[in-house]
Amino acid sequence: MKIKQNYVLLLLLVVFQNMNAQVQKLNELSKNKYLGMTVILDESRDDVWGYAALYQKDKVAKETLELEIIILDKNLNKVGTSTFQQFYFNSWLIDLYPEIKYIRLKGNTLNLALGLQGIDDTAYYFYRKLDLNDFSVSESKIVFNGEL
């Protein structure tokens, strides 16, 4: 009986030692200030495609930040990165930083909506497209009367 217990224990030890979960450390993706991460859904399959991490790279004006977006696949492998400038609310009382409110994959383009932290009103969203071929980011657009 003792031999069977030792055999099972040894077998479990070997199995668990070889099991490794894939880990991606957020602080190793970028040296910039972390602003948040969200799931990217594939519109055609209604499935998780990957993840997007948003970082503040620099402050370029009183109410403009240079942001970095890092795209990861669903296995947490880095797909690419891009930078762009985005408005944020800055006052002596409070700073409202950008965050990704919505991001979906459609074809080879990521459609994303950026809002300000703590404000969930879609009237204040800035819409952009990120092309996965060259990781270019479109200019910011807003919705007016239901159209971009």
pLDDT tens sequence across 97-108: 888 888 999 999
Q: Give residue 10's pLDDT.
A: 59
Q: Give residue 63's pLDDT.
A: 84
Based on the number of CB atoms within 10 Å of its own CB, is 49 exposed (0-12), middle (13-18) or buried (19 or more)? buried
pLDDT confidence of 91, banded at 50, 70, 90?
Answer: confident
Cβ within 8 Å of residue 115, ≥6 positions away: 98, 99, 101, 121, 122, 124, 125, 126
Q: Encode burial over 106-117: b for 16+ CB neighbours within 10 A, e otherwise.
A: eeeebbbbbbbb
Tokens of 34: 């972390």
Based on the number of CB atoms within 10 Å of its own CB, is 21 exposed (0-12), middle (13-18) or buried (19 or more)? exposed
pLDDT tens sequence across 24-63: 565 677 889 888 899 998 888 778 999 999 998 988 888 8
The β-bridge relationship of strands 98-106 and 33-42 is: parallel
